[in-house]
Amino acid sequence: MALEPAVTDLEQLKSHAEVACLLAWNAAAVEGAKFDRNELSIYVERTALRGACTTLKNDAALHYDALADITCVDWLPNDPRFEVIYQLFSTVTKKYLRLKVRLSGDNPAVDSLTPIWPGANFFEREVFDLFGVRFNEHPNLTRIMMPDNWEGHPLRKDYPVEGYR
């Protein structure tokens, strides 16, 4: 399975308020966007994630005030290897938005969203535990599903099917 292309013509997607909002905030932070099956995904530069989320949360018209989920995909052998996916929700407009951040396999790390949404705590711990993605400034980045003495991250594609022996 090939890594899906991140960049779609942003000019066409400016009609979406979320894309326009982020481009107005910091055009360099938006790496691309995709509108498929009536769902909008915006690719955000790794170092701009926290700022993008704050912008989307505080925008009066958009009001993405809830973080519904965080998950990850391991695209090995492609580089960037990891894609961390954030599902945002607006309790005002009842709309979902997907933000995606791509991370290198060498040192997969991105800023924690716990300062914006405290509920990110457990989602980030799960992604850390299963994929090995680190969340900078996380208050307690420890295993949540696997035993503390477990070696490796079992949802990585290079993890042995029967575990390390």
Where residue 25 falls among pLDDT bands split at 50, 70, 90? very high
Percent of all residues in the chain with a pLDDT value above 70, rounded to a whole number: 93
**Cα-Cα-Cα-Cα dihedral sign, residues 51, 53, 54, 56:** positive
Identity at 82, one-letter amino acid code = F
Answer for the pair 31, 47: CB distance below 8 angstroms, yes or no: no
* Secondary structure class of 54 (helix, strand, coil): helix
pLDDT confidence of residue 14:
87
What tens digit of pLDDT does each residue of 109-143 get? 999 999 999 999 999 999 999 999 999 999 999 99
51-70 tens-digit pLDDT: 999 999 999 999 999 999 99
| Residues 6+ positions from 73 with CB-CB distance below 8 Å | 82, 83, 85
Q: What is the mean pLDDT of residues 137-155?
A: 95
Q: Is 83 within 8 Å of 100 (Cβ atoms)?
A: yes
Cβ atoms of 136 and 160 within 8 Å: the answer is no
Query: Which residue segments constitute the domains of the chain, with CATH numbers given?
Result: 10-136 (3.30.460.80)
Residue 104 CA, chain-centre distance (Å), reads 13
